Amino acid sequence: QKEVEQDPGPLSVPEGAIVSLNCTYSNSAFQYFMWYRQYSRKGPELLMYTYSSGNKEDGRFTAQVDKSSKYISLFIRDSQPSDSATYLCAMIYGAGNMLTFGGGTRLMVKP
């Protein structure tokens, strides 16, 4: 079993929809949680970064962490075709450590 599980998709939604992307993890030692967006096998781009349970909002993006359930989510409001990409969740024990990634979810937003 992988340390971080993520539904690979693809997830197809119409433009303007609310998108929910999720990851579960098994190791409670993970303390910091990140979401990356990756276009067409380009370099992963850091979208959101959280370290505590609860919600963090940045524009159309909301990251949610539930450490008790070992479950994290990324919500995208008013999705746009330009949001079409692969979204990767990543976790880390602490600063200066390696990232452990989920397998990524491919999102397609149709006009």
Partner 1 sequence: DSGVTQTPKHLITATGQRVTLRCSPRSGDLSVYWYQQSLDQGLQFLIQYYNGEERAKGNILERFSAQQFPDLHSELNLSSLELGDSALYFCASSGGGRSEQYFGPGTRLTVT
Q: Contact residues for partner 1 (CB under 8 A)?
A: 32, 34, 36, 41-46, 49, 51, 88, 90, 92, 94-104
Length of the chain: 111
Q: How far is the CB of 15 from partner 1 (least distance, A)?
A: 27
Cβ atoms of 13 and 109 closer than 8 Å? yes
Q: How far is the CB of 73 from partner 1 (least distance, A)?
A: 19
Q: Which two tokens stand for residue 111?
A: 């006009």
Q: How far is the CB of 72 from partner 1 (least distance, A)?
A: 14
The residues, ordered by sequence, that sit 6+ positions from 98 with a Cβ below 8 Å of its Cβ are 92
The residues, ordered by sequence, that sit 6+ positions from 41 with a Cβ below 8 Å of its Cβ are none
Nearer to partner 1, 59 or 96 (CB): 96
Cβ atoms of 34 and 102 closer than 8 Å? no
